């Protein structure tokens, strides 16, 4: 089946690498499911990395329409890009905190930094003093992941310093779970205990009189109410990635990805396919070349391991993934059934993002965030004003 025209196409009418369909209604439904599970706990939305590659400027307003008011990005420029598309009642948080050259701009844009270190804290406190006003902030404490956040010794030292948080309005104390997608791991309970302990130390400081707590990510929401606190910040689950690996996915799929056939050929036994001649035909094989490669996020590790689907038929990838193309075995289909521009499913009804990730030896996060800009994108299910 060739690519059909679509009224919501977002780029040229001629397909290039392929077609990426993004279901905004599914993202909203996933947000509702997570918020319902959280009950009275606020559900934020993580829209970093361009909403995991799906387009933050389209996704964030949809989350806002569903009731989300707290949005987390990784970098300040991501927050700055989102500010014009979100209503004024939205709060934008920068997970990676402050860079030296963006402190003033961050304050001017009313973006809230996550203070991960004593240096971040000092820079934001100095900016508050320079402006002569109170600046909002989130303080992150390290509870065992050793990635971002104040170490326990720093927490104790700062809590004893009456002026450590001078000029700051601390909105949340947060941390991040390292093993939430493995609910049986003792690390989860250990981090929870460390989070409670670190918060209790900070709570003795007057600057934390109004501070709330935020710990759970997507998988953390499913660890239970003890992990919910005042706000949770899911990301991957919003976009259909399974927060419960090894169990049925409670989230709705968000993405459908199709490539087109560029060329077909029949090769005899003993002929090779692709770079490095890693595949040699053990018998006559019919091969289709598709319009995606590792430059489009179809990871090189899928070579010889991944599959695609056409009309429900499983088609193995033959040989290595190239920059702009892959080759697949169409021998199981009737001769003449596959023509140029035929539409082939990479992600969809027969293969989820998580299944592609398993075949590639990675996680769904990497698959989504790797999808490039050479796809024609279609957004469906927009919220109606």
pLDDT for res 8: 44
Same fold, 24-239 and 255-380: no
pLDDT for res 236: 97
Any idea how long the chain is?
385
Determine how many CB atoms are found less than 10 A away from the CB of residue 327.
25
Q: In what order do the strands lie in the sheet with 231-232?
A: 42-43, 231-232, 212-214, 168-174, 135-140, 112-115, 91-94, 70-73, 45-46
For the chain, list residues with pLDDT below 70. 1-15, 385
pLDDT for res 186: 97
Q: d(Cα 350, Cα 235) in Å, to the nearest integer?
A: 24
Phi and psi (nearest 5°) for 277?
50, 40
pLDDT for res 169: 95
Q: d(Cα 320, Cα 322) in Å, to the nearest integer?
A: 6
Instruction: Return the sign of the alpha-carbon dihedral for residues 139, 144, 146, 151.
Output: positive
Q: Which sequence positions are flagged as catalytic?
A: 48, 275
Region of 39 on the Ramachandran plot (φ > 0 left; ψ -120 to 50 alpha; else beta): left
pLDDT for res 158: 95
Which CATH fold topology does 24-239 show?
TIM Barrel (3.20.20)
**376 known ligand binder:** no
pLDDT for res 13: 54
**323 known ligand binder:** yes
The model's pTM: 0.93
Q: Which two tokens stand for residue 34?
A: 């997570």
State how far the alpha carbon of 230 is from the alpha carbons of 168, 192, 213, 226, 254, in Å: 20, 14, 5, 11, 27
pLDDT for res 14: 53
State how far the alpha carbon of 187 is from the alpha carbons of 140, 148, 182, 194, in Å: 18, 17, 9, 10
User: What digits encode the pLDDT tens for the residues 176-235?
Assistant: 999 999 999 999 999 999 999 999 999 999 999 899 999 999 999 999 999 999 999 999
When the candidates are 3.40.50.720, 3.30.70.141, 3.50.50.60, 2.40.37.10, the CATH number that belongs to 255-380 is: 2.40.37.10
At residue 128, the 3 state secondary structure works out as: helix
pLDDT for res 16: 76
At residue 109, the 3 state secondary structure works out as: coil
User: What digits encode the pLDDT tens for the residues 165-178?
Assistant: 999 999 999 999 99
User: What digits encode the pLDDT tens for the residues 225-243?
Assistant: 999 999 999 999 999 999 9
Domain locations in the chain? Answer: 24-239, 255-380
């Amino acid at each position: 089946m060739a690519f059909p025209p679509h009224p919501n196409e977002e780029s040229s009418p001629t397909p290039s690498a392929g077609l990426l369909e993004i279901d905004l209604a599914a993202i909203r439904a996933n947000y509702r499911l997570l918020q319902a599970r959280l009950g009275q706990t606020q559900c934020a939305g993580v829209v970093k990395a361009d909403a995991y590659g799906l387009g933050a400027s389209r996704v964030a307003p949809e989350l806002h329409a569903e009731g989300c008011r707290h949005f987390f990005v990784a970098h300040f420029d991501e927050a700055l890009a989102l500010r014009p598309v979100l209503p004024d009642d939205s709060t934008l948080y920068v997970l990676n905190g402050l860079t030296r050259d963006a402190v003033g701009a961050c304050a001017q844009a009313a973006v809230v930094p996550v203070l991960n270190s004593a240096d971040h804290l000092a820079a934001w406190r100095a900016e508050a003093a320079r402006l002569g006003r109170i600046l909002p902030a989130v303080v992150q404490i390290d509870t065992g992941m050793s990635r971002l956040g104040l170490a326990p010794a720093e927490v104790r030292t700062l809590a004893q310093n009456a002026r450590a948080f001078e000029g700051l309005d601390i909105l949340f104390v947060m941390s991040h779970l390292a093993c939430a997608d493995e609910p049986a791991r003792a690390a989860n309970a250990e981090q929870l205990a460390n989070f409670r302990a670190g918060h209790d130390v900070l709570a003795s400081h007057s600057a934390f009189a109004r501070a709330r707590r935020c710990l759970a990510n997507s998988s953390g929401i499913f660890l239970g109410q003890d992990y919910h606190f005042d706000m949770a910040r899911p990301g991957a689950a919003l976009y259909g990635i399974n927060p419960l690996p090894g169990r049925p996915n409670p989230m709705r799929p968000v993405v459908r990805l199709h490539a087109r056939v560029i060329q077909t050929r029949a090769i005899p036994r003993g002929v090779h396919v692709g770079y490095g001649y890693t595949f040699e035909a053990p018998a006559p094989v019919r091969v289709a070349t598709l319009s995606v490669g590792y430059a489009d996020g179809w990871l090189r590790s899928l070579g010889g391991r991944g599959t695609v689907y056409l009309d429900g038929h499983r088609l193995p990838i033959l040989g290595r993934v190239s920059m702009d193309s892959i080759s697949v075995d169409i021998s199981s289909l009737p001769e003449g059934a596959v023509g140029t521009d035929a539409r082939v499913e990479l992600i969809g009804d027969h293969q989820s993002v998580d299944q592609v990730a398993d075949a590639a030896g990675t996680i769904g996060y990497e698959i989504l965030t790797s999808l490039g800009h050479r796809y024609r994108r279609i957004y469906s299910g927009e919220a109606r004003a």
